[in-house]
Amino acid sequence: MKNYNPEQTLCEVRREFGEHGGVTPSISRSSTFTVMEPGIMPEIFDGIRGPDKGGCFLYSRHFNPTVDILSRYLSAMEGSEAAVCTASGMSAISCTLLQLCNHGDHIVSSNTIYGGTHALLEELFPQMGITTTFVDPTDTAAFEASITAKTRVIYTEAVGNPTLKVADIPALSKLANKHSIKLVVDNTFTPMVISPIQLGADIVVHSMTKFINGASDLIAGAICAEKDFIYKLMDLHTGRVMLLGPTLDPRVAFDIIQRIPHLAIRMREHSLRAMAIAGHLEKIGAPVTYPGLTSHPQHKLLKSLINKSYGYGGILIIDCKTKSKAEELMSILQNKERFGYIAVSLGYYDTLISCSGSSTSSEIPPEDQLKMGLSPGLLRLAIGFTGSLAARLEQIERAVKAVGLNPN
Ligand code: PLP
């Protein structure tokens, strides 16, 4: 097991007090900032003087003091040298990959990734001359076999959406090093649970929309990496974050800053509940998959990757085989049992349930869905922590039995 303690590294970040000594930081809403001496302005544009080098803030698409606080939290959590926040998870992914790849370059990606990312790689990037080979994330040899002289990036999700396949990050990191290419890991499903940079990843991307914010009331993303890479992204003349402009609003950043201190507590509770529900479903013979169960094919691997005490994450899947059976179960779970809500997204304090093949993975063609192990009846349950656990176990047992999904 890993001993990295993201709660502690977060706690060690220099505390930012509000303008009047408030225990919360202030929200700096200014889009532009006063430069005290005219000679400093060109130096800021040339990247010689940032706020950390005797310069100052310039313009909020570049750096904003409030957003910067959140970036420091993210980099402390992942143990990266630096981080930059973006307006969404998708912009964190697209800016990262467009910074690393030019026309003619190639990516080797896990085939079990969020549908939007799949569409970015499969539909949009080829129009820019960037191609992708998709492979099973559990098959490190397949990644290696797909690397060519044009490959710049290995891309994977730490725990894949929605199949919950686990990537061997240390092995992929070795591979990336061997071929002098970058390993980019989307850690949206497992903040705190897994720290990919500690396991050898070069860059971690997040959709902060999910667990990190935890309230399903905003959209945000982040990129964590070495200073050099973050500075490249922020370069005033050429950086992809600067040029594409997915700027995080300081008011949104402030909301996330307020929720980060209880992320560890929330992740533990999401994991604890998901584990209990998955164990119960397995006991009654329901077709459940959860990486915390010893029956999960990559359980041992995941156990060797996770940080102590945050569990195995808050997401489980139930394979109902057909879309109609999945819809029947979702309807009972929401409308009869009040177990959770039929809604996309994850990381909310209430349970969110969706049928991935016809929702968040619907960008992926049916034949590719089959290849990645996504059945049309796969239900993804992002387990929340409202209500009593005992009542939740009774609700899901009744629902699963009502649709005949348990032989026991
Ligand atoms: N990465 C993963 C694993 C996701 O599940 C999602 C969204 O569902 C994203 C990235 C995209 O994030 P956002 O909706 O914040 O752009």
At 1 the pLDDT is: 56
Task: Report the atom number in ligand 1 closest to the C-alpha of 210.
Answer: 15
- The reported pTM is 0.97
For residues 1 and 7, what is the distance between their CA atoms, to the nearest angstrom? 16
Task: Report the atom number in ligand 1 closest to the C-alpha of 360.
Answer: 8
Q: Label each residue of 97-159 as H, E or C.
A: HHHHCCCCCEEEEECCCCHHHHHHHHHHHHHCCCEEEEECCCCHHHHHHHCCCCEEEEEEECE
| CA of 333 relative to ligand 1 center, distance in Å | 24
For residues 81 and 84, what is the distance between their CA atoms, to the nearest angstrom? 11
Ligand 1 pocket, residue 157 CB under 6 Å: yes
At 47 the pLDDT is: 81
At 49 the pLDDT is: 82
Query: Is the four-CA dihedral 72, 73, 74, 78 of positive or negative sign?
Result: positive
Residues of the chain with pLDDT under 50: none
At 408 the pLDDT is: 75
Ligand 1 pocket, residue 89 CB under 6 Å: yes
Q: Is 316 helix (H, G, I), strand (E, B) or coil?
A: strand
**Closest Cα to atom 8 of ligand 1:** 345
| CA of 206 relative to ligand 1 center, distance in Å | 8
In order of their start, the domains of the chain are: 6-261 (3.40.640.10), 263-402 (3.90.1150.10)
| CA of 408 relative to ligand 1 center, distance in Å | 36
Q: Are 398 and 361 in contact (CB under 8 A)?
A: no
**Which residues 6+ apart lie within 8 Å of 261 measured at CB?**
10
| CA of 346 relative to ligand 1 center, distance in Å | 9
| CA of 289 relative to ligand 1 center, distance in Å | 21
Q: Which residue has the tokens 């007090």?
A: 17
